């Protein structure tokens, strides 16, 4: 029995080494939440829409304004911002019902999808940032 398990395990391991791309994004919950709350506007591929909705894929805003992201998701944003050199003066509604951990998951999904490589958020950090913008 144990032998069989070992064998199955090592086969699985081999596969995951050979086909790393088949592994789903580790932020499964984040992905699901993204599809529900964000993809209508920012699109499944994170590309946004022309001058109306900024991209998340390859967005330099994610890096440059990391501290603002948790509040942005919860409370939205209505500002003039620059994303990859393009100006946006639009508005985005927040999703007030998301819990802290859900915000962490969404942001980490965004930060590691479509080639984005941004350091993951942790719950503690997110909580502190959210404290600052509590309305």
Partner 1 sequence: MKYFAFIVLIITTWAACLTSPEKRTLPILGERDISPGGDTIYRSVPDFSFIDQDSQLVTNATFADKIYVVDFFFIHCPTICPRVKKNGLRLYEKYKNDGRVMLLSHSIDVRNDTVAALHRHAAKLGVDAKKWRLVTGDHDAIYSIADDYFSVAVEDPDSPGGFDHSGRLILVDKNRHVRSFCDGTNAEEVDRFMKDIDLLLEEQFPR
* Burial class, 39, CB count within 10 angstroms (exposed 0-12 / middle 13-18 / buried 19+): middle
49 binds, among partner 1, ligand HEC, none (CB under 5 to 8 A by kind): partner 1
Instruction: Report H helices in 38-84.
Output: 39-42, 61-64, 69-75
Q: Does 45 bind partner 1 (CB under 8 A)?
A: no
Binding flags for ligand HEC, 62-81, as an x/- string (CB under 6 A)? x------x--xx---xxx-x
54 binds, among partner 1, ligand HEC, none (CB under 5 to 8 A by kind): ligand HEC
Choice from 27, 31, 55, 121 touching ligand HEC (CB under 6 A):
55
Q: Which of 88, 107, 91 is nearest to 46 (CA)?
A: 107
In this chain, which stretch among 39-47, 54-62, 63-71, 110-118 interacts with partner 1, using CB under 8 A? Answer: 39-47
Q: Contact 110/30 with Cβ under 8 angstroms?
A: yes
């Amino acid at each position: 029995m144990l032998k069989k398990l070992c064998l199955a395990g090592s086969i699985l391991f081999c596969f995951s080494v050979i086909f790393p791309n088949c592994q789903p994004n580790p932020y499964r919950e984040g992905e699901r939440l993204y599809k529900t709350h964000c993809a209508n506007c920012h699109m499944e591929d994170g590309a946004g829409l022309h001058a109306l909705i900024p991209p998340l894929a390859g967005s330099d805003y994610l890096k440059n304004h990391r501290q603002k992201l948790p509040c942005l998701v919860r409370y939205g944003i209505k500002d003039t911002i620059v994303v990859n050199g393009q100006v946006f003066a639009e508005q985005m509604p927040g999703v007030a019902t998301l819990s802290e951990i859900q915000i962490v998951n969404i942001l980490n999904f965004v930060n590691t999808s479509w080639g984005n490589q941004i350091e993951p958020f942790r719950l503690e950090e997110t909580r502190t940032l959210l404290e600052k913008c509590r309305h």
